[in-house]
Amino acid sequence: MNNTTMEIVESERIRRLIRRGEWSQATSGAAPGYVQCNLAILQSDWAAEFLRFCQLNPKPCPLIAMSESPGDYLLPTLGKDIDIRFDVPRYRIWRDGELVEECEQIDTLWSNDMVAFLLGCSFSFEEALLADGLEIRNITEACNVPMYRTNMRCAKAGRLEADMVVSMRPMKAEHAIRAIQICTRFPSVHGAPVHLGDPALIGIADINRPDYGDRVTIRADELPVFWACGVTPQVAIERARPALSITHSPGYMLISDLLNSNLAVL
């Protein structure tokens, strides 16, 4: 059995654990080599606007796949036997823009007018950074990446608008430059950073108090480096207040069978 086959088996194994409710942790570092995806599910009368929002804002919302038709919960372009109702370890349920519940399955909520959107995730470029010898602090400290709301406006699409959410990884200046070079090759998983240095310039009041995820150590000789984050659509959903929507819980992604290496464009 070659290495690629072994890794695909591992990604399938983790999805089976998730489907059985036997996986409770965030998915950073799980199934190395394979693309993980952010999730947004909306009813069909919102689908065209959400698709347009992704097209207008590819940095925070890099679309990788979507339901082939309303009500279709299988995603064959992402991997074998992926069922979006069961294969994300933790979902968030939103009603009228309010977070009302987190759960491990959504089959009882699924209806024939729902459309699932899968977006690229920063975990893919983290792997490329690690392969180049750069430290990823949230992986070193075994926690979820810190994420922050900013004052960086996204382009509006119909009823959907948001300020960008960013994820942060502290790095020395020379490592930040290298990270920019590496991540530019991966536009389908957020691409190059959108900011580095003073967090106040993008509306972050306290770097030690992330809006999502966990605080990580920032050393005296390091800069905070910020990437566009796939939690951004959750902010748009909060503001637009659709009757029902479903997202992933930040850090708890769909693990696909797509290869990270195939996302590189240069």
Bridge partners (DSSP) listed for residue 78: none
Q: Is the pLDDT of residue 4 over 50?
A: no
CATH code, domain carrying 211: 3.30.2040.10
Q: Is residue 194 part of a domain?
A: yes
The model's pLDDT over 72-110, given as tens digits with 9 standing for 90+, comes to: 999 999 998 999 999 999 999 999 999 999 999 999 999
The mean pLDDT of 6-33, rounded to a whole number, is 83
Does residue 24 sit within a domain?
no
Please give the single-letter amino acid code of residue 193: P
Q: How far apart are CA 243 and CA 221, in angstroms?
A: 47
Domain count, the chain: 2
Please write the tens of the pLDDT for every residue from 46-77: 999 999 999 999 999 999 999 999 999 999 99
Contact 192, 169 (CB under 8 A): no
pLDDT of residue 175: 97
Q: pTM to 2 decimals?
A: 0.89
Q: Please say if the pLDDT value at position 263 is more than 80.
A: no
> Phi and psi dihedrals of 188, rounded to 5?
-80, 0
Query: What are the φ/ψ torsions at residue 59 (nearest 5 degrees)?
Result: -65, -55
Assigned domain for 44 exists: yes
Integer angstrom CA distances of residue 57 from 104, 162, 204: 29, 10, 20
Q: Which domain holds residue 149?
A: 123-232
Confidence of residue 238 (pLDDT cuts 50, 70, 90): very high
Q: What is the pLDDT of residues 164-212, one digit of tens each?
A: 999 999 999 999 999 999 999 888 889 899 999 999 999 999 999 999 9
The dihedral sign for the CA sequence 55, 57, 63, 67: negative
